[in-house]
């Protein structure tokens, strides 16, 4: 019988309304499972662990990702798959972070949550939870996991975790994976898009637990000033900047702007160019407004999401590698987070 471990971190799925304040706050795991009696009807062994204090995922932090990765590491050989219950707000960040931290994965790690608490009659949480468990335990004829990667299941779709973003705070259909096909669709049957699902690694799982959050996102907008750009680039201790750029990776061509970036790079800062567009990619050199970036050594994020870029940087900086190596790895596809075009 398949064994699945359910890890409850918090999020709307398990929340209840505070009687006095009327706000939604995380509740304990017993409450959640009581709402889903269907869990006992699965033909699999389902065990669970819960964070002592479940959190709203807006309180998510790299230290919690380390805790999560440790739970998966400790239980890796005992279970066939993992389902992580998580708030939807930062789920795409957690899925991205776990994809980098869990190297050589050969078992499913499926994150899910909901837009409405599981105790509410119209909840989307039940379907999300039940199908996520089914996907985490799905195997092929050879007995190998069908989805040996970190993925997000939400509202009938399964996405590669490090390709997702939360784009809707209102609809049940809250996630998108604009630059990568869905991994599976759940209707009457669950149809797996096997060509897009990553292959299981034959190597031993290696869990990376050092993350370095000395990074900043510089979000460009027309009219961004010299004093703000200068202040961001000279924050003490930062090691890397995500340059959240326009269109195909474009930025102002003002001399002061390019000079500030160049000085920062010369000082050792790693600048990673990630587009504000949800679809498409950074192509440095396509426009005049990005050719200078290429020349001064800004690294192209290709079609990476902001969520994956931030966590990839935390992961790589945490490895304490030489800057040249980090830059090289940023340009490479490590866990299916970018598509490189030749």
Specify the residue, 13 or 242, whose C-beta has the smaller distance to ligand ASP. 13
Which region among 43-51, 56-64, 204-212, 232-240 touches ligand ASP (by CB under 6 A)? 56-64
Any idea which residue has 């075009």 for tokens?
Answer: 341
Specify the residue, 118 or 293, whose C-beta has the smaller distance to ligand ASP. 118
Closest C-alpha among 305, 303, 311, 287 to residue 339: 303
Closest contact distance (angstroms) between CB of 95 and ligand ASP is 13
Specify the residue, 131 or 275, whose C-beta has the smaller distance to ligand ASP. 131
206: CB partners within 8 A, 6+ apart: 103, 104
Q: Which of 9, 12, 90, 94 is catalytic?
A: 12
Binds ligand ASP (CB under 6 A): choice among 2, 5, 6, 12: 12
Specify the residue, 51 or 257, whose C-beta has the smaller distance to ligand ASP. 51
**Cβ pair 136, 4 in contact under 8 A:** yes
Our finding on whether 54 is near ligand ASP (CB under 6 A) is no
Task: Measure the CA–CA gap between 296 and 328, rounded to whole angstroms.
Answer: 15
Our finding on whether 88 is near ligand ASP (CB under 6 A) is yes
Our finding on whether 137 is near ligand ASP (CB under 6 A) is no
Our finding on whether 50 is near ligand ASP (CB under 6 A) is no
For β-strands 184-186 and 157-160, DSSP reports them as antiparallel
Question: Among this protein's residues, is 12 annotated catalytic?
Answer: yes
The backbone region for 154, taken as left when phi is positive above 0, alpha when psi lies in -120 to 50, beta otherwise, is beta
Our finding on whether 155 is near ligand ASP (CB under 6 A) is no
Binds ligand ASP (CB under 6 A): choice among 87, 108, 161, 249: 87
Helix%, strand%, coil% for the chain, nearest 5? 30, 25, 45
Our finding on whether 56 is near ligand ASP (CB under 6 A) is yes
Q: C-alpha dihedral over 299, 212, 71, 95, to 10 degrees?
A: -30
Our finding on whether 115 is near ligand ASP (CB under 6 A) is yes
Specify the residue, 72 or 174, whose C-beta has the smaller distance to ligand ASP. 174
Task: Measure the CA–CA gap between 135 and 108, rounded to whole angstroms.
Answer: 8
Our finding on whether 324 is near ligand ASP (CB under 6 A) is no
Active site residues: 12
């Amino acid at each position: 019988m398949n064994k699945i471990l359910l890890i409850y971190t918090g999020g709307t799925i398990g929340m209840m309304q505070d009687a006095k304040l009327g706000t939604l706050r995380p509740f304990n795991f017993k409450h959640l499972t009581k709402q889903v009696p269907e869990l006992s009807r699965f033909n699999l062994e389902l065990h669970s662990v819960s964070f002592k204090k479940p959190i709203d995922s807006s309180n998510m932090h790299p230290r919690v990702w380390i805790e999560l990765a440790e739970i998966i590491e400790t239980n890796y050989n005992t279970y066939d798959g993992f389902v992580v219950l998580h708030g939807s707000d930062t789920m795409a960040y957690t899925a991205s972070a776990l994809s980098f931290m869990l190297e050589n994965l050969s078992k499913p790690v499926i994150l899910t949550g909901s837009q409405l608490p599981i105790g509410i009659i119209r909840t989307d949480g039940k379907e999300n939870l039940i199908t996520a468990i089914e996907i985490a335990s799905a195997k092929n004829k050879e007995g190998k996991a069908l989805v040996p990667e970190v993925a997000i299941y939400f509202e009938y779709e399964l996405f590669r975790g490090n390709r997702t973003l939360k784009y809707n705070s209102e609809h049940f259909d809250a996630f998108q994976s604009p630059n990568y096909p869905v991994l599976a669709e759940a209707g009457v049957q669950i149809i797996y898009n096997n060509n897009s699902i990553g292959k299981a690694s034959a190597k031993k799982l290696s869990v990376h637990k050092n993350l370095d959050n000395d990074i900043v996102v510089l979000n460009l907008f027309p009219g961004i000033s010299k004093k703000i750009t200068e202040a961001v680039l000279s924050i003490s201790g930062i090691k890397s900047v995500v340059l959240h750029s326009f269109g195909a990776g474009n930025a102002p061509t003002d001399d002061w702007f390019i000079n500030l970036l160049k000085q920062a790079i010369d000082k050792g800062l790693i600048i990673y160019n990630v587009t504000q567009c949800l679809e498409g990619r950074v192509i440095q050199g396509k426009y005049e407004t990005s050719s200078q970036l290429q020349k001064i050594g800004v690294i192209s994020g290709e079609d990476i999401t902001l969520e994956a870029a931030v966590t990839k940087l935390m992961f790589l900086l945490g490895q304490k590698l030489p800057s040249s190596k980090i830059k090289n790895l940023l340009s490479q596809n490590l866990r299916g987070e970018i598509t490189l075009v030749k």
